[in-house]
Amino acid sequence: MRQAGRIVAEVLAVLQQRVRPGINTAELDELAHQVITKNKAIPSFKGYRGFPASLCVSINEEVVHGLPSKKRYLEEGDIVSFDVGAIYQGYHGDAAVTLGVGEIAEVAKELLAVAAGALAAGIAQSRPGNRTGDISWAIQDYAESRGCSVVREYTGHGIGLQMHEDPQIPNYGQPKQGFLLKPGMTFALEPMVNQGDWQTRVLDDNWTVVTKDGKLSAHFEHTIAVTEGEPEILTSS
Ligand code: MG
């Protein structure tokens, strides 16, 4: 899983270098695919329930599962989330990051900071003796106390030999509830943080999730391992 995580981190680092106004989203998907396969790994997303790409590209009000396309380009002022997974020798890594394209509005910068902070708050709770609810609550509290909301319909998840394993780890919840954390457990934590209300809907392409109110959404994700001590981030570069 460390190897899979390193490959995922490399993809996101390469994408980060390429992000600029005018770049084509299908080109970014192709790049992600190249980095994964060059590392002798398999893209987790391609073909997953029929998903057509190796990379999710979700722009502005899109929350998750956005589709890269030759017809879609990034524009100055967009925020774009890249979500990518790789399978190395049977084990999965899964991570996402949201970036600004060129100069972005102050409110967008704040949203990215809150979403990244919410993920960090969740990771900090990923310790033996805590429960999944402690992670959920830390994420929710971090985002809501800063005037944002957390998406309810999509959650973090266990990960290992499958991309999505039990338990689900919602981005909202109650402290001291849920599954007891033990060393060796591996999770993908992935707060989706909205500028407005938390409600979402799915577009007619049956994939792209957008905010119902059309306001911005940001998504950050790491695959982590619970250890005896500090949580280990498997998808950090
Ligand atoms: Mg995930």
pLDDT digits (tens, 9 = 90+) for 43-88: 999 999 999 999 999 999 999 999 999 999 999 999 999 999 999 9
Distance 44 CA to ligand 1 centre (A): 10
> Using DSSP, how many helices (H) and how many strands (E) does the chain show?
4, 15
Q: Which of 16, 10, 7, 80 is nearest to 44 (CA)?
A: 7
Distance 9 CA to ligand 1 centre (A): 14
Mark residue 7 as left, alpha or beta (left: phi above 0; alpha: psi -120 to 50; beta: remaining): alpha
Read off the tokens for 46: 């391609």
Distance 147 CA to ligand 1 centre (A): 24
Rounded to the nearest integer, the mean pLDDT of the chain is 97
Where does the pLDDT of residue 237 fall: very low under 50, low under 70, confident under 90, or very high at 90 and above?
Answer: confident
What does the pLDDT average to over 103-122?
98
Look at residue 226 and give its three-state secondary structure.
coil
Cβ neighbours of residue 134 closer than 8 Å, sequence gap 6 or more? 125, 175, 176, 178
Distance 138 CA to ligand 1 centre (A): 18
Distance 108 CA to ligand 1 centre (A): 23
- Domain 2-233, architecture per CATH: Alpha-Beta Complex (3.90)
pLDDT digits (tens, 9 = 90+) for 189-213: 999 999 999 999 999 999 999 999 9
Distance 170 CA to ligand 1 centre (A): 11
Read off the tokens for 136: 């959920």
Count CB atoms within 10 A of the CB of residue 106.
7
Distance 190 CA to ligand 1 centre (A): 6
Is the preceding peptide bond at 167 cis, omega within 30 degrees of 0?
A: yes
Distance 194 CA to ligand 1 centre (A): 17
pLDDT digits (tens, 9 = 90+) for 80-109: 999 999 999 999 999 999 999 999 999 999
d(CA 31, CA 58): 16
Distance 22 CA to ligand 1 centre (A): 27
d(CA 133, CA 179): 8
**Domain map of the chain by residue range?**
2-233
Distance 93 CA to ligand 1 centre (A): 9
